[in-house]
Chain A
Amino acid sequence: MTKQIRQLDRVVIRFAGDSGDGMQLTGDRFTSETAQLGNDISTLPNFPAEIRAPAGTLPGVSSFQVHFADYDILTPGDAPNVLVAMNPAALKANLTDLPRGADIIVNTDEFTRRNLAKVGYTTSPLDDDSLAGYVVHPVALTSMTIGALAEHEVSKKDAERAKNMFALGLLSWMYSRPYESTLRFLERKFAARPELVAANVAAFRAGWNFGETTEDFSVRYEVKPAKMVPGTYRNITGNAALSLGLVAAGVRSGLPVFLGAYPITPASDILHELSKHKKFGVVTMQAEDEIAAVGAALGASYGGALGVTTTSGPGVALKSETISLAVALELPLVIVDVQRAGPSTGMPTKTEQADLNMALYGRHGEAPVAVIAPKSPADCFHAALEAARIALTYRTPVLLLSDNYVANGSEPWLLPDVESLPDLRVEFASRPNGEDGTTFLPYLRDPETLARPWAIPGTPGLEHRIGGLEKADKTGDISYDPANHDFMVRTRAARIETIPVPDVEVEDPDGDARVLVLGWGSTYGPIGAACRGLRQRGLSIAQAHLRHLAPMPANLGEVLRAYDRVVIPEMNLGQLAHVIRAKYLVDAIGYNQVRGLPFTAAELETMLEEVLKNV
């Protein structure tokens, strides 16, 4: 049977199942196949904090959304066109996100009376007309997978577990994906158990062939490659990109990277990744707690390493005293906060941007640090390098505010040429800097950067003592002198305030916009997509996005004042807006949401349209 082939410009698929169903892996493989084809991609995993919530329940649903297109896209998509639901819980948990007319592929084997009852269905939605508005494809995924593997020497359990590969095969067929990378992946993953390689490949092929032969799927789709900047790409998550950025910072500075970390969601993957890169001289230490993690990193910096600690909001709170010490010691330190929904334990696997206040102000005393935020998964690589650059050049702690959305989301990354990466080499102090030629003054500053000398132990003639007590200017001796303290506090503030950072760029293709949308961090994608939507409809709007939150770009005030209205969407209750209003006296409008989920482009577009109407 020849199937009809239909061209699409973009598709959003959500794979959803029980947390034991392997949906993250399925989504990941589909993404990789899609990347090989050359589509632009953006992905968003969504999983529960529980490792294995009770099977078949709503809290146990894990999903992975992938958006791919033949043009450049900015977000994982607001709403799926296709939902793969491996059980009734997955259907129920995701149905409200589906627009009418969407395709739903359901694993009918799991729609038993017991499983339906677990999520409160009294009748099967497959049998009543509650799904009438959708295109439902009932597929007996489990039993067909087991059937396909009847001749294979695997247990029934292993056969059943291969059902995600059946689903992947079916979807790969539907969207004409090249699957060689998946076959290679399965060979690697199950290298120790060849029978599982064979079974999973067979399940994948069975899914593919099912698509080709069954009449239920009459259309096959194609999404042509996107026109992207020439170069070599790989798909990468924010946490992976951030880790590689830190490795790159070590290479480009010539310093060993020392990571002190305590496991915490959603930052642990950075620890996992960096622990693999010992050949670059990267040392990772899983510390006894968050405080020890940052303490060890600071100790390593004191000794001449690039000290890094990675955590999430609760961890930053614990580290705050040590960050203040780093402010006083004026040593390089990179603190990565992969933000999650708070306060307290909050929602560890959900995203939020509510740690900005803590990053800017969350320490005792006047303790300013530099703060930067990546705008997308791939941008985490460059943000990590920038954090290291500021830390090393200006001898200061730098807080890097990632969040769960960019950390676990993925997108294609144009691989940079290593030689084009910033040169981060530093010079350690090597000789006395006092006028007499023999004295060493640990707090005598470089007039340009205001950085003090980095005199590492092991350097003869520069033995000196520093600490958290206030220090006299230049000598670093303990000082309680009032004028000295006032001077040192102001100098530490000036050290951060005068760090040169690039001007903020404004995207206003029409050139006549009266409204500016200002964002920071991970909202870049949804804001950008919303602005595009408005412009496509003939409306003018300007977009600016902050990477540097402390210090802020020198031109920001001028940019803000050039518009009649400034709108600041944030996944918090208005933390950046508060700063902007206070600092620039601009009557910025906040648009705030704290649902643990990223903004959708559609809601931002609707909100911005309202603002435009009222200017």
Chain B
Amino acid sequence: MSEPVALKLTAKDFKSDQEVRWCPGCGDYAILAAVQGFMPELNIPRENIVFISGIGCSSRFPYYMNTYGLHSIHGRAPAIATGLSVSRPDLSVWVVTGDGDALSIGGNHLIHALRRNVNLKILLFNNRIYGLTKGQYSPTSEIGKVTKSTPVGSADAPFNPLSLALGAEATFVARTIDSDRKHLQSVLRAAAEHQGSAFVEIYQNCNIFNDGAFDPLKEPATRDDFLIRLEHGQPITFGKDGQFCVVHPPGGFGLEVRETAATPAEEIVVHDAGVADPAYAFALSRLPGLDLRNTPIGVFRSVNRSSYDTVVQEQVAAAKAGVDQTPEEQLAGLLSAGDTWTIL
């Protein structure tokens, strides 16, 4: 196979002529810049890239990308993108969504897109708040969240987006942070290379309604002790001095954080994103506490399973194989199938 021609695109080629209208200081700017900066790496012509979104602040994203883009309706982007992806396997289809869009009004479409393993790259901007409707709590807000709609605190427990995606047996699950462009782009790269659904949660700061939600993961004083940077094939250790590690205690169901110094090296879990059983990645997704300590970022899971698109297109191709009639001839045959009679 010959090497594809280098398109020599730059970030600028992916900027549309539309004025970006998020609030000044919004984490979405950083994500947009990171995505636009990453896109040339794909070496895919702009016309073959489609961004589809639902409703919410994050869903304005497609307007700012100089690709094909569809800003749809609340929660439905995965469904619309599924129809496009299945019927146009030649396209690179990206879904941009938020915690309300993907996990509340569109929860059903999200889990089914993941279970089908549709060839979509789903970027969920999680800011743990409703921004566009001006500050109600979201399905990822911590319990007890005081907002306009919950003056004495929210009463319902949040979703953990990665646990949910893994419960739906998503084949690619990752998390990254708006403020860490290098990491964000590394996760986008892995997502783009994945065949099938790639689910990427991006922690994103809403500086108006939920400012500082992820500060412990960003502040130089805390971030190294709070963040677990997952790397495939590497023992999971973290902390400023590598003083923490992740183990699988015998008899337990999940993973736990220990002090590295007190843990025999062979007991430290070596990260393997290719573990077939989603239970491992699920256990990783359960590590963070309410205070965001022990928050893994990176690729939790990346396994191979035929995508829905591929299977559907293979069925069509198999049915078409060996057909030597024109479509009109085939149609004439179909219409006159079964018991017919002729009147002269």
**Residues on A close to B: CB < 8 A?**
32, 35-36, 38, 181, 225, 228-235, 244, 247-248, 251, 254, 256, 258, 260, 277-283, 285, 287-289, 291-292, 295-305, 307, 321-322, 325, 329, 415-416, 418-419, 457-469, 477-478
B34-66 interface bits toward A, Cβ cutoff 8 Å, 1 = contact, 0 = none: 000000000001111110100100000011011
Q: Within 8 Å CB of A278, what residues of B?
A: 315-316, 318-320
Q: Within 8 Å CB of A35, what residues of B?
A: 339, 341
Which residues of chain B from 53 to 87 have a CB within 8 Å of any chain A CB?
Answer: 55, 62-63, 65-73, 76, 79-87
Of A260, A297, A303, A468, the residue contacting B91 (CB under 8 A) is A303
Chain A residue nearest to B67 in the complex (CB):
A463
Q: Within 8 Å CB of A465, what residues of B?
A: 16, 18, 62-63, 65, 68-71
Q: Is the CB of A32 within 8 A of B339?
A: yes
Q: Which of B188-196, B213-221, B225-233, B328-336 contacts A (4 or more CB under 8 A)?
A: B328-336
Q: Kindly state whether residue B133 has any CB partner on chain A within 8 Å.
A: no
User: Given that A232-B341, A299-B79, A299-B83 are contacting pairs, would A468 and B73 also be in contact in the complex, using a CB cutoff of 8 Å?
Assistant: yes
Q: Is the CB of B340 within 8 A of A302?
A: no
Q: Within 8 Å CB of B315, what residues of A?
A: 278
Of A228, A234, A289, A467, the residue contacting B71 (CB under 8 A) is A467
Of A231, A251, A254, A291, the residue contacting B76 (CB under 8 A) is A291
**Shortest beta-carbon distance from A407 to chain B in Å:** 18
Complex Cα spacing A320 to B338, Å: 37
Q: Is the CB of A233 within 8 A of B342?
A: yes
Complex Cα spacing A329 to B342, Å: 46
Q: Within 8 Å CB of B65, what residues of A?
A: 465
Q: Is the CB of A300 within 8 A of B84?
A: yes
Q: Is the CB of A258 within 8 A of B109?
A: no
Q: Within 8 Å CB of B66, what residues of A?
A: 463
Q: Within 8 Å CB of B318, what residues of A?
A: 278
Q: Within 8 Å CB of B50, what residues of A?
A: 457
Q: Is the CB of A416 within 8 A of B83?
A: no
**Shortest beta-carbon distance from B331 to chain A in Å:** 5
Q: Is the CB of A232 within 8 A of B340?
A: yes
Q: Kindly state whether residue B108 has any CB partner on chain A within 8 Å.
A: yes
**Residues on B close to A: CB < 8 A?**
16, 18, 45-50, 52, 55, 62-63, 65-73, 76, 79-88, 90-91, 108-109, 112, 312, 315-316, 318-320, 323, 327-328, 330-332, 334-344
Complex Cα spacing A299 to B86, Å: 9
**Shortest beta-carbon distance from A71 to chain B in Å:** 13
**Shortest beta-carbon distance from A478 to chain B in Å:** 7
Q: Is the CB of B83 within 8 A of A285?
A: yes
Complex Cα spacing A283 to B89, Å: 13
Of A228, A303, A462, the residue contacting B83 (CB under 8 A) is A303
User: Given that A244-B335, A418-B335 are contacting pairs, would A466 and B70 also be in contact in the complex, using a CB cutoff of 8 Å?
Assistant: yes
Q: Is the CB of B323 within 8 A of A279?
A: yes
Complex Cα spacing A234 to B340, Å: 4
Q: Is the CB of B83 within 8 A of A258?
A: yes
Q: Is the CB of A296 within 8 A of B86?
A: yes
Q: Is the CB of A296 within 8 A of B18?
A: no
Q: Within 8 Å CB of B327, what residues of A?
A: 251, 254, 280
Beyond A282-B316, A418-B328: 11 further Cβ-contacts under 8 Å?
A231-B342, A232-B342, A233-B340, A234-B341, A283-B86, A285-B86, A295-B79, A302-B83, A418-B331, A457-B68, A463-B67
Q: Is the CB of A251 within 8 A of B328?
A: yes
Q: Could you list some 24 contacts between A and B, CB below 8 A?
A: A231-B343, A233-B341, A235-B339, A251-B330, A277-B334, A283-B312, A285-B312, A291-B109, A292-B109, A292-B112, A295-B82, A299-B52, A300-B86, A302-B80, A302-B84, A303-B83, A419-B328, A458-B47, A463-B47, A463-B67, A463-B69, A465-B16, A465-B69, A469-B71
Of B16, B79, B331, the residue contacting A251 (CB under 8 A) is B331
Complex Cα spacing A500 to B178, Å: 53
Chain B residue nearest to A328 in the complex (CB):
B73
Q: Within 8 Å CB of A228, what residues of B?
A: 343
Q: Is the CB of B341 within 8 A of A38?
A: yes
Q: Within 8 Å CB of A225, what residues of B?
A: 343
Q: Is the CB of B80 within 8 A of A289?
A: no
Of B55, B87, B112, the residue contacting A303 (CB under 8 A) is B87
Q: Is the CB of A281 within 8 A of B316?
A: yes
Complex Cα spacing A148 to B174, Å: 68
Q: Is the CB of A234 within 8 A of B112?
A: no
Q: Is the CB of B79 within 8 A of A38?
A: no
Q: Is the CB of A458 within 8 A of B73?
A: no
Chain B residue nearest to A466 in the complex (CB):
B70
Q: Within 8 Å CB of A285, what residues of B?
A: 82-83, 86, 312
Chain A residue nearest to B66 in the complex (CB):
A463
Q: Is the CB of B87 within 8 A of A232?
A: no
**Shortest beta-carbon distance from B20 to chain A in Å:** 12
User: Given that A234-B338, A303-B88, A418-B331 are contacting pairs, would A467 and B48 also be in contact in the complex, using a CB cutoff of 8 Å?
Assistant: no
